[in-house]
Every structure is written in C-alpha cells, then in structure tokens.
Amino acid sequence: MSVSLATLSKNMAWTKRPIPPRFQRRQPLEPHTDPRVDGVRNPRSYHCGTGGDTAGRKNYESALENSSAYIYGCTEDFVSENGKKAPGRVMQFDAFKDAKKGDIIHLHHHKVTHWGKYTGEILSYREGYKDPPNIPKGWYDIVTANEKERKHVFHIKVERWVPISGGPFMGAGLQKTLYEVTDHADYN
C-alpha cells in the first residue's frame, strides 16, 4: 500500500506547530507621518549590541536600568583623535540619525533579549545634546579617568525595555554595534 507524500506531510506533527511569536510579523505600534511614503511610515527596527566582554555585560545592565542603548567612539573627531579605530561606528551612528521616534531598537548581549520604542532622544556630553544622567557601568572607569572621553559616549533613549516574547534569539550575527534590521525576519 502506497501513501502519497502530501498525505504523510499532513499527518506529520511538525507541520501543525504554531509559528513562534518572534517569527510572526509584529503589528506596527504607532505609524509615523513621513511625506516620502504616502504620508505613513511604519517603524523601522534597529539592533544595538553592548559587546560580549565584561564591559559589555556592565553596559547591558546599565542599558536595562536606564532605558538606553549605548554607542561609543562614533564621531569623526574620535576617529581623528584616535586613528582609524572606529570608522565603521561613525557610519553606523550617522545612519541611525535617520531613526524616528517610535522606531524599534533591539538590545543585544550574547543574544537579543529586549526591544524598546525609541523616544527620539540621544544624550551626550557634547554641545548640542542634553547631558546624560550617568556613564554606563562598563565605560565608567575609562571615562572618569579621562574626562575628555565623556563626549564620545552616546545614550540612545527608549521608552522602556520589553523582554522578547518567545525568549532571546541570536540576532543577525553582524559584527557591528548599531544597524538597521527592519527587513531581517528574526526581528519582526
């Protein structure tokens, strides 16, 4: 007796499992008005990593406590003062400056664990920015030992961090601090 492949597939348990929440398409939280896209702009998604070392873990803890994501050394003056240490981060931060209030930021430390809605506010000890209330724990010793380093720390504010439904996931796997992931399936 022969059974068709379609019949076998219908009877297999794995075909009947629900799609995990992190792979389901998330409904836009609050559409933005943007004249470039028929007056409506859906939120974009960004990934912000804290680094995998001890300083990264401390910055991750600070991020959760302070509803912030952090990036350091992401300006032209940092690169010119320190050589070519972080030209990629300059491009990442410049690209992020197009983000709008309500866009989604995903927080990563070893795995993507939380997401939050961007408030539209970036804090820094630089002219033109509002001063942040603190220095992230991972960079605290370096920045307090050398006060001129304070201007290279940026706090990207979110309303609050929300744990990822369905649990943490690996992320895109790119070796970058801050980048857009709007079209990446895992982040939607």
Q: Checking DSSP bridges between strand 104-109 and strand 45-49, what pairing results, if any? A: parallel
What is the rounded average pLDDT of the residues 156-185?
A: 94
Interacting residues of 136 by C-beta distance below 8 A, sequence separation 6+: 58, 59, 62, 63, 66, 68, 70, 153, 155
**Residue 34 falls inside a structural domain:** no
Is residue 146 one of the residues assigned to a domain? yes
Residue 20 forms part of a structural domain: no
pTM of the model: 0.77
82 assigned to some structural domain: yes
Q: What is the pLDDT of residue 38?
A: 52
Q: Is residue 179 part of a domain?
A: yes
d(CA 152, CA 138): 14
Domain count, the chain: 1
Residue-number span of the structural domain to which 148 is assigned: 44-187
The answer to whether position 7 is within a domain reads no
- pLDDT tens-place string over residues 116-167: 999 999 999 999 999 999 999 999 988 888 888 899 999 999 999 999 998 9
CB 114 within 8 A of CB 125: no
* Residue 160 placed within a domain: yes
Does residue 17 form part of some domain?
no
**Residue 23 DSSP one-character state:** G
Instruction: Please give the residue that has the higher pLDDT: either 143 or 96.
Output: 96
Tens digits of per-residue pLDDT, 34-63? 434 455 678 999 999 999 899 999 999 999
